[in-house]
């Protein structure tokens, strides 16, 4: 069985033109990115934008694809599931920061350097290349990532 999810690295520029990156804290207390399962009739892009609104309250516009993460996990009823997660670089264009408390513990904005540090120390390893890829698309090179 195959399961497709999508999400994004959301960024914004403040009125002072300062770049900020959004990170969520998931229900396990880890730093993560908003994402979720594709619903029938949706494109992966629509899924990414819907999940970002649902989990963080922010309305976004997709700027560019970043990368995909693929892995397998075992589900009690479905057996082995091939999971594919599509990530996009998303610019916040509206909405207000509002964590979906049923799904996540919190959401906030960080400087690119702080976002990278948090990802490296408290995030999931397979998100390193997603966050690094987003920062690279934004013109920022990070330490400790090939």
Q: How does residue 71 score in pLDDT terms, banded at 50, 70 and 90?
A: very high
123 Ramachandran zone, left/alpha/beta (phi>0; psi -120 to 50): beta
Which residues contact residue 17 at a Cβ distance below 8 angstroms, ignoring those fewer than 6 apart?
A: none
pLDDT exceeds cutoff 50 at 3: yes
Q: Is the pLDDT higher at 9 or at 103?
A: 9
Residue 132 in contact with residue 69, Cβ under 8 Å? Answer: no
What's residue 105's pLDDT? 92
Compute the distance between CA of residue 112 and CA of residue 131 in angstroms, rounded to an integer.
9
Predicted model pTM: 0.92
Residue 144 in this model has a pLDDT that exceeds 80: no
Residue with tokens 């996540």: 104
What's residue 146's pLDDT? Answer: 47
pLDDT tens for 48-60 read 999 999 999 999 9
Domains of the chain, earliest start first: 2-137 (3.90.79.10)
Find residue 7's DSSP bridge partners.
Answer: 35, 87
- Cβ atoms 102, 60 nearer than 8 A: no
User: Are residues 118 and 22 in contact, defined by beta-carbon separation less than 8 angstroms?
Assistant: no
Segment 77-106, tens digit of pLDDT: 999 999 999 999 999 999 999 999 888 999
E-assigned strands of the chain? 2-13, 19-26, 31-32, 35-37, 58-75, 79-95, 104-110
């Amino acid at each position: 069985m195959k399961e497709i999810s999508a999400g994004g690295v959301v960024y914004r520029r403040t009125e002072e033109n300062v770049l900020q990156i959004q990170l969520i804290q998931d229900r396990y207390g880890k730093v993560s990115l908003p994402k979720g399962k594709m619903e029938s009739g949706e494109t992966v892009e629509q899924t990414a934008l819907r999940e970002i609104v649902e989990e963080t309250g922010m309305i976004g516009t997709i700027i560019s694809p970043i990368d995909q993460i693929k892995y397998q996990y075992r589900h009690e009823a479905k057996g082995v599931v091939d999971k594919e997660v599509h990530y996009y670089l998303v610019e916040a264009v509206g909405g207000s920061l509002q964590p979906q408390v049923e799904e996540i513990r919190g959401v906030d904005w960080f400087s690119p350097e702080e976002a990278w540090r948090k990802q490296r120390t408290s995030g999931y390893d397979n998100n390193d290349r997603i966050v690094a890829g987003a920062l690279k698309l934004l013109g920022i090179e990070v330490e400790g990532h090939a």
